[in-house]
Amino acid sequence: MRLHEHLEMWERRAPHAVMAQQDHRRWSFGQVAAATERLAGAMVDAGLRVGDRVAVLSKNRFEFVLLYYAASKAGVVLVPLNYRLAPTEWSYIIADARPRVLFAEPEYAANLDGLRQQLGWIERFVGVTDEPMLGWESWNAWMEGPLPTARPSFGDHADALQLYTSATTGRPKGAILTHCALSASIERIGEAQALRPGERSLAVAPIFHVGVVPTVFTAVACGACTVLQAEFNPAAVVHALNEQRIAVAVLVPSMLQACLANVAAVEERHYETLRLIYYGASPIAEPTLRTAMQVFGCGFMQSYGLTETTQALTFLTPADHERALAGRADLLQSAGRAIPDTEIRIVDVDGHPVPTGAPGEIVARGPQMMRAYWNLPEETAETLRDGWLHTGDIGRLDEEGYLFVHDRLKDMIVSGGENVYPRAVEDVLLAHPAVADAVVIGVPDARWGETVKGVVVLKEGHMADEAELIADCRKRLGGFEIPRSIDFVEALPRNATGKVLKRVLRERYWVGEQRRVAGA
């Protein structure tokens, strides 16, 4: 099934039902289907062919959603750009993807105009706004073009999206996702979320990211209404959960933490319609999760996955969370079990399966895997080996098939020959009552190769010093895992999905080092 066919199904079944809402504006399935038909016609009329790339730079907005479905109808491949990147990083991705058309919001136009000489292959620049933009084609003109006389011909295995990895280390890579990979992921997430026609799903996580699959695509496929927020604001999110009849919300752990810490009386509000909070993208501290479950009083579901796996490989279901609270507390540290039609293995450095409970690299196979990295045959071959996608993450499987993710393979710290998994140390730091946020990195050491360093954000109004936190770690960790030093900062650098940019933190400590180990 191709992406736009989910929209067309609900256009036939419930054309007047609300498909999307942003602020006070609403659009029905019928209106969206008609608008995407015209936009797809404009793409075809502009000479775009099946497989051509088209880029978009925008925050969450209705027009962005239209571009996803119009591109699908026209057979072109949408390349969403991260609006939080620097212009030089946009330039790199655009140069790599070579889109023929670029759509952008007005606030990014000036920076993009400054790059035009470097982007000579872009034939058309289109503003995503009703207001005129100097030097940019009108969005309204594209929306008022003729309907296409014929649909381009392409199948389910055609490329649909080119999503760039978050690049917490190295350069971003363009993961190519096909229509059938998207549909496989949408189907499984839809089953897990159990969204019903007419229910409302909150989309506040950035939809330039693979998180668009559980937020927007799944809601459309289920006949639900997507409530869009342009960007994350904790007060606005809590207001929506409280006042706008949201049934399902997709939030990353840092968003949950901000809602709990920064919104007054969050625990005193009512969330009658909220059924499910779906979280993922980065590890969550157990105290944060337990507090969120108590405050919001709904089901919680976690997924583990990557851009390269079209979002989900596992689910830790609401039933798993209930089981955890009933005595299996260790499950709260798990990412759940493999979703239907997906296999997960833990392998050693040679790709051989390891015994149950032993750590190794997480590999997976299933219908939702990427086709390839764009123009990177060697990296593709390294990641897709013998039918398995190698995630680059370290984890283990227990006897019941629950996956426990330790860390990125590149984040592992090797100190005196011992492997230190930062997440285990971070969980201990985060359990301290004065700690709001924490991350652990490896720093160079002449004797041990590298040693463990904690980087900590304290809660407002709380005090703790290095000696206190290290003493707390000494009670709960092995000697080789204990941080040798702790730095205190006001905030941790994070990307758009809440992942801590460890390479940014490491850089100052590894300057001048000729041999960089463990994720440098």
Q: Which amino acid is at 100?
A: R
pLDDT, tens digit, for every residue of 249-288?
999 888 898 899 889 999 999 999 999 999 986 667 778 8
How many C-beta neighbours within 10 Å does residue 517 have?
Answer: 16
Which contiguous run of DSSP H or E holds residue 64?
Answer: helix 62-74
How many C-beta neighbours within 10 Å does residue 503 have?
Answer: 18
How far lies 272's CA from each of 169, 252, 299, 304, in Å? 41, 21, 12, 27
- Cβ–Cβ < 8 Å for 241, 271: yes
Confidence bin at 520 (pLDDT 50/70/90): very low
- Cβ–Cβ < 8 Å for 247, 271: no
Sign of the alpha-carbon dihedral angle for 109, 110, 111, 114? positive
The residue-averaged pLDDT of 224-243 equals: 96
Pairing type for strands 200-203 and 248-251 reads parallel
Could you give the CA distance from residue 315 to residue 344 in angstroms, rounded to a whole number? 12
- Cβ–Cβ < 8 Å for 493, 437: no
Structure letter (DSSP) for residue 131 = S
Confidence bin at 322 (pLDDT 50/70/90): very high
What is the per-residue pLDDT for 157?
Answer: 97
Q: How far apart are the first and last CA of the chain?
A: 41
Sign of the alpha-carbon dihedral angle for 62, 63, 67, 70? positive
Strand partners, 408: 393
The residue-averaged pLDDT of 381-400 equals: 94
Enumerate residues 6+ apart whose C-beta is below 8 A from 184. Answer: 310, 341, 366, 367, 368
- Cβ–Cβ < 8 Å for 83, 46: no
What is the per-residue pLDDT for 514?
Answer: 39
3-class DSSP state of 63: helix
| Three-point CA angle 141, 142, 144, nearest 5° | 65
Strand partners, 177: 161
- Cβ–Cβ < 8 Å for 496, 84: yes
For residue 54, is pLDDT > 50? yes
- Cβ–Cβ < 8 Å for 161, 78: yes
pLDDT, tens digit, for every residue of 417-452?
677 878 888 989 999 999 999 999 998 887 777 889
What is the per-residue pLDDT for 462?
Answer: 92
Query: Average pLDDT, whole number, for the chain?
Result: 91
Pairing type for strands 77-81 and 299-304 reads unpaired
Structure letter (DSSP) for residue 72 = H
Q: Which amino acid is at 388?
A: W
The domains found in the chain, sorted by start residue, are: 3-16+25-178 (3.40.50.12780), 413-510 (3.30.300.30)
> What burial class does residue 6 get, using C-beta atoms within 10 Å of its C-beta: 0-12 exposed, 13-18 middle, 19+ buried?
buried
pLDDT, tens digit, for every residue of 183-221?
999 999 999 999 999 999 999 999 999 999 999 999 999
Strand partners, 362: 346
Crossing angle of helices 253-262 and 234-243, in 10° steps, is: 90
pLDDT, tens digit, for every residue of 393-413?
889 999 999 999 887 777 778
Enumerate residues 6+ apart whose C-beta is below 8 A from 11. Answer: 29, 30, 32, 33
Structure letter (DSSP) for residue 396 = E
Structure tokens at 431: 């359990």
Q: Which candidate, 182, 403, 429, places its Cα nearest to that of 309?
A: 182
Enumerate residues 6+ apart whose C-beta is below 8 A from 427. Answer: 285, 286, 333
pLDDT, tens digit, for every residue of 117-161?
888 889 999 999 988 899 999 999 999 877 777 789 999 999 999
- Cβ–Cβ < 8 Å for 316, 339: no
Which contiguous run of DSSP H or E holds residue 455?
Answer: strand 449-458
- Cβ–Cβ < 8 Å for 4, 14: no
Sign of the alpha-carbon dihedral angle for 110, 115, 116, 122? negative
